[in-house]
């Protein structure tokens, strides 16, 4: 199967926009990806043909909506190679999935237990464990980040011990682009019988995810970073754990029986899906995954690697620019600082030239402190970006440098 970036770009209506008279160059994909027309159409079709609540209706619209909603769950199951569809829990995104597990973990930990996370976490995958440990009187330990932007696996091995109950780490760093050895890290954690959660927010869009091969207990990711709408995501967890994990929210759908004084909980996946679900966006997420899987994965990986390699070469030759995070194994994230100008100024001046990047601490303040910077400018690449857009970024950065000099 061939990879035609020009044809792919035509599937994304927003890429036809201009910003202040300049063609839009969208390089903020680590924050959110744009949506292909088929995903937009899936949303419109739901709201125009079978808008209804799911599972409980006795009419045709409810039946159609339920079938489509549950079909999307099956698509996710196959996408991550989950053993069972009941293990796929709909959430609002990665953050809610992590909080669901952290809420329960805070009730399961005891004084003297230890939790391990890393120094490259998004705030969603560190603040949650901080709070869980505080509630339980447990200890949080941190795997440091090397100068190149890798996790220090030697120290990770030293931190693991018989008191380690839980380990959480990112599949891919949102701020550096580092791809972590998640299977190896999971195996190491399992040697001390710890539970493992992988933050897959940045991983699901760029790498094939096989939760059975990884060996983890939980994997969380968001729809909007894999071409689906915002407000929808997935938490996968092993059934034997989720069946007994403390419930997250209570209300309709997640109950089995209710009296005036007590209640019992529903089976998976409904146990963790209280209230009216985000039906339209779940269906659209299924469509986004179907679209993504229709592409030649190896060709997509090669294309995104070519974008990053080209950008890295231009960055290394760019006077006054320093790349933050140079791990050997990365996906398409280029974080950098410049001698002239705060990252916010760089982002503002690039926007005036039609180029959208992200600036700031990227919800990773401990990592910024590790590298001694207040934040970075971050260009992040996706399927629909081109080498010409990378060239446009660095041509614009030359103008930025001259304006800020």
Pick the catalytic residue from 38, 133, 216, 363.
363
Enumerate residues 6+ apart whose C-beta is below 8 A from 372: none
- Residue 322 corresponds to which tokens in the numbers above? 């320093």
Any residues with CB less than 8 A from the CB of 222 and at least 6 apart, and which?
93, 94, 201, 204, 232, 233
Token pair listed for 89: 């829990």
Task: Return d(Cα 373, Cα 230) in angstroms, integer.
Answer: 30
d(CA 294, CA 200): 21
Distances (CA, A) of 147 to 176, 269, 338: 12, 42, 18
Using CA atoms in the order 329, 335, 340, 344, what is the torsion angle rounded to 10 degrees? 180
Nearest in space to 381 (alpha carbons), one of 346, 344, 336, 334: 334
Q: Is the dihedral of CA 34, 37, 43, 44 positive or negative?
A: positive
What's the alpha-carbon Rg for the chain, to the nearest Å? 22
Name the one residue in this structure whose structure tokens are 């550096």: 176
* 313 dihedral zone (left: phi>0; alpha: psi -120 to 50; beta): alpha
Asked about 133 being catalytic, the answer comes back as no
Pairwise CA distance, residues 41 & 291, whole Å = 12
Q: For residues 379 and 373, give the distance between their C-alpha atoms in angstroms, rounded to a whole number.
A: 17
Q: In whole angstroms, what separates CA 366 from the centre of its chain?
A: 19
The secondary structure element, H or E, covering residue 348 is: helix 343-351
- Hey, what are 293's tokens? 């899987």
CA distance 9 to 30: 18
Helical residues (DSSP H) of 34-144, grouped into ranges: 37-49, 60-80, 94-108, 127-136
Residues 142 and 161: their CA atoms lie apart, in Å, by 14
Pick the closest to residue 53 from 242, 282, 341 (CA basis): 282
- Provide the annotated active-site residues: 363
């Amino acid at each position: 199967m061939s990879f035609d970036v020009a044809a792919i770009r035509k599937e994304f209506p927003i890429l036809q926009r201009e910003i202040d008279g300049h063609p839009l160059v969208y390089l903020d994909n680590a924050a959110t990806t744009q949506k292909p027309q088929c995903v937009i159409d899936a949303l419109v079709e739901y709201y125009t043909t079978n808008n209804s609540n799911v599972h409980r209706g006795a009419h045709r619209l409810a039946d159609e909506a339920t079938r489509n909603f549950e079909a999307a769950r099956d698509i996710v199951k196959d996408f991550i190679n989950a053993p069972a569809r009941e293990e796929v829990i709909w959430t609002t995104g990665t953050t809610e999935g992590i909080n669901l597990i952290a809420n329960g973990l805070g009730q399961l930990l005891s004084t003297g237990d230890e939790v391990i996370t890393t120094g490259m976490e998004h705030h969603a995958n560190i603040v949650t464990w901080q709070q869980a440990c505080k509630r339980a009187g447990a200890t949080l330990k941190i795997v440091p980040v090397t100068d190149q932007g890798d996790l220090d696996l030697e120290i990770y091995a030293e931190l693991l011990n018989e008191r380690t109950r839980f380990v959480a780490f990112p599949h891919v760093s949102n701020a550096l682009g580092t791809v972590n050895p998640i299977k190896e890290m999971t195996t190491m954690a399992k040697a001390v019988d710890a539970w493992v959660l992988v933050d897959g927010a940045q991983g699901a869009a760029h790498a094939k995810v096989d939760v059975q091969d990884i060996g983890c207990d939980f994997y969380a990711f968001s729809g909007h970073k894999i071409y689906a709408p915002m407000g929808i995501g997935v938490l996968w967890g092993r059934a034997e754990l989720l069946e007994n994990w403390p419930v997250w929210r209570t209300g309709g759908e997640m109950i089995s029986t209710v009296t005036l004084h007590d209640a019992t909980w529903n089976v998976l996946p409904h146990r963790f899906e209280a209230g009216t679900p985000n039906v339209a966006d779940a269906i659209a997420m299924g469509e986004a995954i179907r679209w993504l899987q229709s592409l030649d994965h190896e060709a997509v990986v090669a294309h995104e690697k070519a974008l990053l390699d080209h950008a890295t070469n231009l960055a290394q030759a760019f006077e006054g620019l320093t790349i933050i995070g140079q791990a050997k194994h990365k996906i398409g994230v280029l974080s950098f600082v410049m001698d002239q100008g705060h990252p916010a100024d760089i982002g503002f001046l690039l926007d005036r030239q039609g180029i959208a990047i992200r600036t700031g601490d990227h919800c990773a303040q401990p990592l910024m402190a590790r590298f001694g910077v207040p934040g970075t400018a971050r260009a992040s690449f996706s399927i629909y970006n081109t080498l010409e857009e990378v060239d446009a970024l660095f041509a614009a950065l030359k103008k930025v440098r001259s304006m800020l000099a």
